[in-house]
């Protein structure tokens, strides 16, 4: 139990570190871009560390401080009968939370159009990364060795992608919401281990991929959705000159 507890605490510490990286409003477009890039680089360090730790634990089982086989042994000893499908639904809780809060009047960072576009982009990046790595790694699952798609954890990647999405929309103004979002994601990761569906290494890597995916989506987004349509005005006036009548028209684009 000491090993398992240390792992959960370590994972949550990473989440808390990401939560602390809120975006700083700049006074100009250049300042905002610089702030965005600095935040992205900080998130890359966190997500990269998580992915690297997960990969290292998968490759080398003998020289790790946290041995994935020992973690599973403790799971078998203390939580052998644990089984739940709550994690199948909890992975979407932060996304539902963002749209619910917005519907209740608590405005996030972006409008509906940009927010939805960012969510879709985050999902596409996360699914592409997770699916590709699963096929390349071919890691057997702890409970079903014949299923060679354990690394990384897709559920964990989805949960942390959603948590980072919520953090991006509300974290700057409401840090407690970020803590709740990442706490939910960490719970999903723990449940994947307790359900014996994933190794601890899969969960670490999945968390890193989820965080990275949303940050990539926000960094590359052009914010073209939901813009106000341009206003066009037409001014028409009568004219008289040299004994002739006519009309003048001025079309103005804004």
Q: Which two tokens stand for residue 60?
A: 């080398």
Q: Residue 233: is it exposed, middle or buried by C-beta count within 10 angstroms (0-12/13-18/19+)?
A: exposed
Cα gap 23→34, rounded to integer Å: 10
Cα gap 218→179, rounded to integer Å: 20
Tokens 């608590």 correspond to 106
| pLDDT at site 29 | 66
State pTM to two decimals: 0.78
Phi, psi of 125 (to 5 degrees): -65, -45
| pLDDT at site 190 | 97
Domain range holding 116? 2-253
Query: Please, are residues 159 and 184 in contact by the beta-carbon 8 Å criterion?
Result: yes
Domain count for the chain, please give it.
1
| pLDDT at site 16 | 47
Q: Which residues of 48-62 are buried (b: 16+ CB within 10 A; e: fewer)?
A: eebbebbbbbbeeee
| pLDDT at site 228 | 46
Beta bridge partners of residue 241, listed in sequence order: 244
| pLDDT at site 74 | 95
What residues contact residue 205 under an 8 Å CB cut-off, 6+ apart? 50, 51, 53, 54, 55, 58, 133, 151, 152, 153
Ordered mean pLDDT values, 10 residues apiece, the chain (254 residues): 44 46 52 74 88 91 80 94 96 97 95 95 97 96 96 98 97 96 98 97 98 94 64 46 48 42
Cα gap 191→184, rounded to integer Å: 11
**Radius of gyration (C-alpha) of the chain in whole angstroms:** 25
Cα gap 165→171, rounded to integer Å: 9
| pLDDT at site 38 | 80
């Amino acid at each position: 139990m000491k090993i398992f507890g240390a792992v959960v605490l370590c994972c949550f510490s990473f989440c808390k570190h990401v939560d602390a990286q809120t975006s700083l409003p700049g006074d100009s477009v250049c300042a905002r871009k610089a702030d965005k890039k600095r935040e992205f680089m900080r998130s890359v360090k966190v997500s990269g560390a998580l992915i690297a730790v997960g990969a290292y634990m998968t490759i080398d089982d003998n020289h790790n401080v946290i041995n994935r086989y020992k973690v599973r042994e403790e799971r078998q000893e203390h939580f052998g009968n644990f089984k739940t499908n709550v994690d199948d639904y909890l992975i979407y809780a932060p996304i539902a939370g963002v749209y619910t809060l917005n519907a209740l009047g608590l405005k996030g960072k972006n409008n509906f159009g940009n927010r939805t576009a960012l969510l879709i982009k985050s999902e596409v990046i996360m699914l592409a990364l997770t699916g590709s790595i699963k096929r390349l790694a071919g890691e057997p699952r702890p409970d079903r060795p014949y299923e060679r798609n354990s690394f990384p954890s897709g559920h964990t990647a989805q949960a942390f992608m959603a948590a980072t999405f919520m953090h991006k929309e509300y974290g700057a103004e409401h840090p407690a919401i970020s803590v709740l979002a990442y706490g939910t994601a960490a719970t999903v990761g723990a449940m994947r281990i307790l359900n014996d569906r994933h190794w601890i290494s899969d969960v670490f890597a999945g968390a890193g991929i989820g965080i990275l995916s949303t940050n990539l989506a926000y960094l590359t987004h052009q914010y073209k959705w939901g813009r106000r349509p341009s206003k066009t005005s037409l001014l028409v006036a009568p004219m008289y000159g040299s004994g002739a009548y006519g009309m003048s028209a001025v079309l103005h684009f804004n």
